[in-house]
Amino acid sequence: MFADLAGHIALGLETAFSWTNLFYCFVGVFLGMLVGVIPGIGSLAAISMLLPITFHLEPTAAIIMLAGVFYGTSYGGSTASILLNLPGTPSSAVACVDGYPMSKQGRGGIALMMTTVGSFIAGSIGIVIMMLASPIIVEYALKFGPSEYFALMVLGLIAASAITTTAPIKGIAMVVFGLLLGCVGSDLETGVARFAFDIPELYDGIQLTVIAMGLFGVSEVVASIEGIRGARVDAKSITLRSMIPTSDDWRRSWMPILRGTLGGSFFGALPGTGGVIASFMAYALEKKISKEPERFGHGAIEGVVAPESANNAADQTAFIPTLTLGIPGNVIMALMIGALTIHGIVPGPQFMVQHPDMFWGLVMSFWIGNLILVILNIPLIGLWIRVLAVPYHLMYPAIIMFVCMGVYSVNNSHFDVIMVMIVGALGYSMRYLDLPAAPLILGFVLGPLMEENLRRALLIGRGDFAVLFNRPISGTIMAMAIALLLWAIYENYRPTKGRLVDADD
């Protein structure tokens, strides 16, 4: 097995070190860092806006860049949390609790340094797990039939929507809506144009970019215009020297980093959970097992590095089910799958077998990306602090422009731009009604595949739905999915206790 691994690593390095892929890796992590630092733009909006640009690139470079944006945002998010008490991303929200007090004590630089170190270690371990676990998972998954795939997709969708949204049952409804929207257009099996309402542009279905950018780009801008204010940070206070931690800091940090990594890796790989839950759990764990719990909330470094390590590890392991099984664990992974699909690559166990250079090149580029981020975070910290000072109202017209440009560039169609406006208005209304948009994208991306697998499974089972439950693997998975569904309905009737955050990262 290790000889195989060495071969894979070599192949990956060869792919990752091409000038094109290195360049796009850098662009990706740089943009990710930027987006993470700025409150008001999430990685979701950024990736949605970059999707059309990736169409002009080679698939490997495209995914490397998008992935870079994804894990780059967790590095950047903690900067705003620690320095401004304003989370740049939801998964960095926990870092505010102890990070901001550290800043007020003049130890903000140390907090930033230690989270960078922790994030790097966590990311690296996450990548190692990915390298070791993926071939094994793929080996098993190649034996899956359409029943198993359908069951996995049902479980993944229900899990992702039910666990992370404020009202689980609404999340499931939105998944179903997404599946319905995926039906718009020509049905592959029968050729019938469904829900096209005689509009020719709809015969090919709704573009993923239109939906993604409308729901996350446009609606987020509408919601943020009035709300977000810029904030002042004293740029001179963070020098390189002030970032050097004491040995006491190191001593206190290394176990929380490892514990955070462990928890993060676990939660990242599960569909439905990810960086947000991982970071909250890591903080709770550290506080619980600490011998001095009263320090937490007043600048305990453990409370900063553990959640940040957790969310970085989760970011890396989130790719495992996505790339090995084709099941997205969260919305961003769904967009990645969407991007791959548009390039003609179907993610699933076949992916690693048919495109080993892309798979291993991607894994190796994760290393490279994490390294670049360390460099960006430590010496260039002054740059990011200046970025934080730019007020949001100066930026949103550019966001509107990027959305318009991006959508237009896919088909040179101004109809698409009008569609994005409509979807954006609907998306904002959905936000207002507390209908989560993230599960919709999950359903939209997986819809056609789910239908196809269901069709095939029923064909094998001669029209009997028992075929989904008779087989041991798919039966177990379906049972889990149903259990989750029942729990979601039950949750709806309980009075809402405060739920964490929702899935719009």
Partner 1 sequence: MYKRDYRDIISGGVLFGVGAFAAIYAYLNYQMGTPRHMGPGWFPFYLGLIMAGIGLIVALSALSREGSLGKFEFKSLIMVCGATLAFALAIRPLGLVPAIFAISIIVWLFDDRYGWKLSLISAVLMSLGAVLIFIYGLGMPLQIVNWRLFG
Binding site for partner 1 (CB under 8 A): 53, 56, 167, 169-170, 172-173, 176-177, 179-180, 183, 187, 189-190, 192, 194-195, 218, 221-223, 225-226, 393-394, 397-398, 400-401, 403-405, 408-409, 412, 414, 417-418, 420-421, 424-425, 428, 432-435, 451, 454-455, 458-459, 462-465, 489, 492-493, 495
User: Of the two residues 9 and 400, which places its CB atom closer to partner 1 in the complex?
Assistant: 400
Residue whose structure tokens are 């200046």: 386
Burial 11-28 (b: 16+ CB within 10 A, else e): bbbebbeeeebbebbbbb
Which position has the token pair 């340094």? Answer: 113
Residue 387's nearest CA partner among 9, 17, 84 is 84
For residues 356 and 324, give the distance between their C-alpha atoms in angstroms, rounded to a whole number: 11
Q: Smallest Cα–Cα separation from 50: which of 206, 181, 217?
A: 217
Whichever of 6 and 418 has its CB closer to partner 1, that residue is: 418
Residue 35 or 404: which CB sits closer to partner 1?
Answer: 404
Residue 398: both structure tokens together: 């550019």
In order of 86, 154, 250, the CA distances from 100 in angstroms are 9, 41, 19
Distance, CA of 141 to CA of 148 (rounded, Å): 9
Closest distance to partner 1 from the beta carbon of 214 (Å): 9
Please provide the DSSP assignment of 41-106 as one string.
Answer: --HHHHHHHHHHHHHTS-HHHHHHHHHHHHHHHHHHHHHHHHHHS--SSGGGTTHHHHHHHHHHTT
Question: Which runs of E-coded beta strand occur in 219-361?
Answer: none
Residue whose CB is less far from partner 1, 247 or 412: 412
Nearer to partner 1, 255 or 458 (CB): 458
The torsion angles phi and psi of 370, rounded to 5 degrees, stand at -60, -40
Q: How far is the CB of 280 from partner 1 (least distance, A)?
A: 24
Q: How far is the CB of 224 from partner 1 (least distance, A)?
A: 8
Q: How far is the CB of 162 from partner 1 (least distance, A)?
A: 12
- Measured from the CB atom, is 235 or 400 closer to partner 1? 400
Q: Which is nearer to partner 1, 417 or 473 (CB)?
A: 417
Instruction: Kindly tell me which of 180 and 371 has the beta carbon lying closer to partner 1.
Output: 180
How far is CA 254 from each of CA 126, 199, 482, rounded to the nearest angstrom?
16, 59, 40
Number of residues that this document lists for the chain: 505
Q: How far is the CB of 492 from partner 1 (least distance, A)?
A: 6
Burial bucket for residue 231 (CB in 10 Å: 0-12, 13-18, 19+): middle
Q: How far is the CB of 193 from partner 1 (least distance, A)?
A: 9
Q: How far is CA 93 from CA 38, 98, 386, 429, in A?
A: 13, 10, 21, 25
Minimum distance of partner 1 from residue 184's CB (angstroms): 9
The residue type at 374 = V
Q: How many other CB atoms sit within 10 Å of the CB of residue 139? A: 13
Distance of closest approach, residue 447 Cβ to partner 1, in angstroms: 8
**Residue 186 CB, nearest distance to partner 1 (Å)?**
9
Closest approach, Cβ 102 to partner 1, in A, equals 33
Between 425 and 473, CB nearer to partner 1:
425
CB 233 within 8 A of CB 389: yes
**Closest CB to partner 1 among 305 and 503?**
503
CB 187 to partner 1: min, Å: 4
**186 vs 242 by CB, closer to partner 1:** 186
The residues facing 194 across adjacent strands are: 185
Residue number, 183 or 378, with CB nearest to partner 1:
183
Shortest gap between Cβ of 353 and partner 1 (angstroms)?
29
Residue labelled with tokens 């002042």: 232
Cα 256 to Cα 271: distance, rounded to the nearest angstrom: 24
| CA angle centred on 349, ends 443 and 481, rounded to 5° | 40
Q: What is the CA radius of gyration of the chain?
A: 22
Measured distance CA(108)–CA(227) in Å, rounded: 26
The residue written with tokens 């509009």 in the block is 199
Compute the least distance from the CB of residue 465 to partner 1, in Å: 7
201 vs 357, beta carbon nearer partner 1: 201
